[in-house]
Amino acid sequence: MSVQKQFLKSKQICKVTFSLPKETVDGAKDIKVLGDFNNWEKEKGIPMKAKNGAYSASLELALGKAYQFRYLIDNDWENDWEAEEYAPSPFGVYNCVVRT
């Protein structure tokens, strides 16, 4: 699990790539990233696609913000255990945080 950030000089954005190893996904059919950036709506989740033995998804986020996120793997929530930090949610669990 990992989050890679690329700050674009030409735009005021950060390209963030979320990655999960194939072992974490373990044959799942529906793998998405949800968070503040898509209002935690399952229908707007960013699909993660298989590539080079891992699953990944990228999106562009505004600079200077902290975004909470989690992975949704076949309707089961999973954290990124290498996240920059964690924040408590109102549901008694912790969300991952990425800062741009």
CA dist 96 and 82 (Å) reads 9
Instruction: Report yes or no on whether pTM surpasses 0.85.
Output: yes
pLDDT at 26: 81
pLDDT at 51: 86
pLDDT at 49: 94
- DSSP letter, residue 15: E
Domains of the chain in sequence order: 2-99 (2.60.40.10)
Alpha-carbon separation of residue 27 from 55, 72, 87 (angstroms):
11, 14, 29
Contact between residue 22 and residue 53 where contact means Cβ atoms under 8 Å apart: yes
pLDDT per position as a tens digit, 41-51? 999 999 999 98
